[in-house]
Structure 1
Amino acid sequence: MIQQFNSTNFYSICDELAERDADLARIIKNHGYPPMWSRPNSFESLVHIILEQQVSLASALSALNKLRERIQEITPARVLLLTNEELKACYFSRQKTAYVRYLAEAILSGQIDLQKFETMPDDAIRAALVALKGIGNWTVDVYLMFVLQRADIFPVGDLAAVNAFKRLKGLAPATTREELVDIATLWQPYRTVATMLLWHYYLSAPKK
């Protein structure tokens, strides 16, 4: 069964997590509920996530907006009409230009069907996407969380979530990914919403 969250159950899931974990309860008490971050299931959303790999959210958005300004609607066919120089002018690195082209070609050829993903299990979606050059587990995690609103994803490759987790729980900086994944089992089957609480904490709480 596919576990999802939506605007009708998001706050009740936050409350359930707060009952189970006093640290998450403290986030809600001090900073309120997190935003329910979401994006449409589109090529543009995946391009946006690729642009966010290893750069600031602001610079990724700047590149996305520059691309939209140039081609109006961000579709696979329109992106493939652009030259590498034109994409460079939209602040795309050489690598990300290649990654977005691979994705556009995969969608146009039917190798990737975003609409079909809506009824597929998480593992099958992950297998289909990581087969594409330039798409790794972090990109898939964000797609599953923000776009398909799958409820039980913990993005262990996300630095902001990991740093917030360690700070919130008073964990040693050397705590391994495996240890974090193990602790996060407490939040199943709602690890996505727990992660949104961590991001909310990361963005709201002053760094000491």
Structure 2
Amino acid sequence: MLFAREPRFAAIEAQAGPLPWRTRPRGFPGLLRTICGQQISNQAAGAIWRRLSALPGALTPEGLLALDDAALCGAAGLSRPKAAHARALARACLEGALDFAALARAEDEAAVAMLCALRGLGPWTADVHLLFAEQRPDIFPSGDIALANATQHLFALPARPAPRALAAMAAAWSPARSLAARLLWHHWRHVTGRPLVEDP
């Protein structure tokens, strides 16, 4: 359906190779991984995640709250704001403010709102988590700079589209916007010559 609506998507794999189908764990670890990737490069996010996930207990809410700044900011490399966001997420899970079972049942807009209600979680974080961890089929992180750059290049636009314009453009790719996002990230990696890493 996506390729019929927009044939330029169909040509991406011929140039960039097979699309890697990346996923993340559902629940706390997957959302914590997405927090690590906020506003930094893929390579930096991957390095931080490897150090964080190696800390004993870090991938459970209880264990993460037991870690001090020396561990989260020093050993793992999280910024102090991200460490605060990670702790807020852990507390929300323990206190029942975030119910991942309810999140899985919620419609897309409601799920985004549930995540954005938490400290430090904005639309980008919510969308990326729902796309990769929940594997929802019609999510498009319109605030992602790489997606905007890829769209400008693929469609030969005169300027990089702003988030609102990109969201409006992506509406035409529903109900397969998640696939469109994956293909655009794949296209941009190919165009820029960047290595394939776990995070978008």
- Normalized against structure 1, the TM-score is what? 0.86
**For residues 41-98 of structure 1, what are the alpha-carbon distances to aligned partners after superposition, in whole Å with 9 as ceiling and x for unaligned?**
0211111100100111222222222222221551000010111222112101110010
Contact 1:39 / 1:45 at 8 angstroms: preserved in 2? yes
Q: Which region of structure 1 is more displaced relative to structure 2, 183-192 or 60-69?
A: 60-69
Question: What is the identity percentage for the equivalent residue pairs of Structure 1 and Structure 2?
Answer: 36
Matched letter for residue 93 of structure 1: S
Larger radius of gyration: 1
Aligned residue runs from structure 1 range 184-203, under 5 A: 184-203=170-189
Offset of residue 121 of structure 1: 1.0
The worse-fitting range, judged by mean Cα deviation, of 66-75 and 83-92 is: 66-75
Cα pair distance change 1:58/1:127, threshold 3 Å: same
Look up the SS of the partner of 2:55 in the other structure.
Answer: helix
- Give the whole-Å Cα distance in 1 for the aligned partners of 2:168 and 2:140: 11
- 1:11 is aligned to none
Q: RMSD value over aligned CA atoms?
A: 1.6
Structure with more contact order per residue of length (Cα contacts < 8 Å, sep ≥ 6) = 1
- The reply on whether 1:124 has 2:122 as its aligned counterpart is no
Q: Distance in 2 between matches of 1:49 and 1:206?
A: 23
Q: How does 1:154-169 map to 2 (within 5 A)?
A: 154-169=140-155
Alignment of 1:103-182 (within 5 A): 103-173=89-159, 175-182=161-168
Report if aligned partners of 1:41, 1:115 keep a CA contact under 8 Å in 2.
Answer: no
- Is the CA contact (8 Å cut-off) linking 1:33 and 1:197 kept in structure 2? no
Aligned length: 192
Give the 3-state SS of the residue equivalent to 1:106 in structure 2: helix
Q: Structure 2 length normalisation: TM-score? A: 0.89
Structure 1: gaps of 5 or more residues? 1-15
* Unmatched tracts of structure 2, length 5 or more: 194-200
